[in-house]
Structure 1
Amino acid sequence: MIQNVEFRFEGGRCGVLLIHGLTGTPTEMRLVGKGLNNAGFSVYGMQLAGHCGDVPDLLATGWKDWYASVEAAAEKFRHEVDHLFVAGLSMGAILALKLAAERPEWVRGVGVYGATFRYDGWAIPRVSRLSFLLPLILRLGFCRNRMTHENEPYGLRDERLRAQISNLMLSGDSTAAGLPGNPWPSLAEMGAMAATVRRELPKVTAPCLIAHATEDDVASVENAYLVARSVSGPVDMLLLEDSYHMITIDRERRTLIHRSAEFFSKIASSCTPSARAVA
């Protein structure tokens, strides 16, 4: 059964909508949310449709449901603030970019954290890099019940934190650290979404802070460069050298929080408060 674990931190008239990744949970965005709130922002850590339950809950949804839940959260939150920013981790970064492409009048700026258009990090098994074949495999009726299980280092360079997260992940409580793996149908859905959003990137005119670990174990830094080359708005790059994929909780999370707060504040100071008024 799905449990609601989204969070809200009340702050100023600038708001940041935070989006977690595939099979993840809002908890992976909570430290960034608390840091941004301490810097004066209102924060909404939303929960994607189908997440924080069991595998059947997730499989009952697809990427259009995930994006619809993002748009619904943004629609609710934007009426509470003068300036709306959106930031996401991994698949959440792709969803954030899609919101900026689809609703440019809503989004002032985007935090693109560890964007994952392709699973091509150094810890991804070679066979898993053939995920583009999944839609064909599933259409043929094969492997619908298969799952790619998470393995070391779980996106974390910090060994102490890695041990804590892996224990939570394997405990069966998906609200704490997400599911212990990615069901193949959900990976196929994510692949379809990534292909769609990749074509839409030129529609992103909002400024983007693109943050990525140089040694990302899940999605290589080429994913970050893809975004930087493709969006139409200004880009600020933040390359992190002492983290793996989960940059919102890994060793350099404070650097990420500081640069994000600085980035969003600079944009807000140059804007008139019109986002809230757009119907």
Structure 2
Amino acid sequence: MTVSNKSTFRGNDHAVLLLHGLSSSPLELRFLARFLADEGFATNTPGLPGYSARSAHQPMEQWVHAAVAEFDKLAKQYRHVSICGLSMGATLAAAVAHERPSARALLLLSVTLSYDGRAIPWYRFLLSYAYYTPLRSRYSYREHEPYGLRNEALRAKIARTMQKSDISEVGPASIGMPALHEASRLAGSVRKKLKSIVTDCLIIHAIDDETSSPHNARYVSANVGASFLRTIWLDDSYHMITSDNEREVVARECALFLRESAAASVSSDNPAPVVSRALARRLRQLAQVLGKA
């Protein structure tokens, strides 16, 4: 199976840098990238040295450096550049937003600050210690069912693919301990920086995420510095929300948020915060009640 290390679609004046999950490939974000391209956005889903599948190990600082370089390339060509990440790619996206506060919007899909879902082995916490032993070069975490998918038909397809290849559209067959160690370092770094990330932020997370529990999304929501923040919970997906049952919902909400963020930025020098339609309706109802009091 051949895996492209980069996927690019050209659009109008708004580009989106899409960052896939740990040790994976742009295949994870193929549906979302095509949807955004059809909606008029330019997209770039790069492979990153030391982070993407089939690349030599590098420390997490190099992941951030490579992702920031991709952002800077887009910033030279487009008026707006937003950042979107899936799983550990969402954590990496947050790190890029911290380095580049000029980012128009930050889209965090299944954000992973901790691999704490029910599908993660109980001994996960011991791996931090095992990294400093000879196990570092021997151990790798192997993916297994449900492969981040609630959709059983797609899950069966992925199971067959995993038997033939080391990579699939929902991620790698295994992740080495060095990559997991660097991912933990990246997550720790991002936790400390959330308050200073003020980029407009969309969080989409499945309530049944078996890899990174909803605690991850709640933590980011409670600590990120963004004034324009929206959190969407999914109830018919697992971790791989860009491939699972609600992938169309995810794609539509991403496109909507990108448009709202861009519109708010050009509406005035000091634009009012943009809120969701549901929140706007609730605020109007509250105003009516207070007016009658």
Could you state the TM-score of these two structures normalised by the residue count of structure 1? 0.89
| Alignment correspondent of 1:235 | 229
| Alignment correspondent of 2:174 | 181
For the 8 Å contact 2:28–2:243, the answer to whether it is kept is yes
For the 8 Å contact 1:4–1:52, the answer to whether it is kept is no
For the 8 Å contact 1:3–1:52, the answer to whether it is kept is no
Bigger Cα displacement from structure 2, 119-128 vs 88-97: 119-128
Structure 1 residue matching 2:220: 3-state secondary structure: helix
Matches within 5 A, 1:125-274: 125-128=121-124, 130=125, 133-174=126-167, 178-233=171-226, 234-272=228-266
| Alignment correspondent of 2:35 | 35
Structure 2 residue matching 1:210: 3-state secondary structure: strand
How far 1:177 sits from its partner (Å)?
Answer: 5.3
What is the CA–CA distance in structure 2 between the aligned matches of 1:88 and 1:61, rounded to whole Å? 19
Bigger Cα displacement from structure 2, 4-13 vs 240-249: 4-13
Task: Return the letter of the residue paired with 1:158.
Answer: N
Gaps of 5+ in 1: 274-279
1:175-205 CA-to-partner distances (Å, cap 9, x unmatched) read: 7554311111111110011001110111110
Residue 122 of structure 1, aligned match among 103, 118, 121: 118
In the superposition, relative to structure 1, how do residues 143 and 21 fare at CA in structure 2: closer, same or farther (>3 Å)? same
For the 8 Å contact 2:25–2:53, the answer to whether it is kept is no
Matches within 5 A, 1:92-131: 92-105=89-102, 107-128=103-124, 130=125
- The RMSD of aligned alpha carbons is 1.9
| Alignment correspondent of 1:15 | 15
Gaps of 5+ in 2: 268-293
1:34-87 CA-to-partner distances (Å, cap 9, x unmatched) read: 111111111111112235554xx34x2221222122111111111111101100
| Structure with the larger RCO, 1 or 2 (CA within 8 Å, 6+ apart) | 1
Could you state the TM-score of these two structures normalised by the residue count of structure 2? 0.85
Structure 2 residue matching 1:270: 3-state secondary structure: helix
Count, aligned residues:
265
Larger Rg: 2
What is the CA–CA distance in structure 2 between the aligned matches of 1:176 and 1:255, rounded to whole Å? 18
How far 1:253 sits from its partner (Å)?
Answer: 0.7
Question: What percentage of residue pairs aligned between the two structures are identical?
Answer: 34
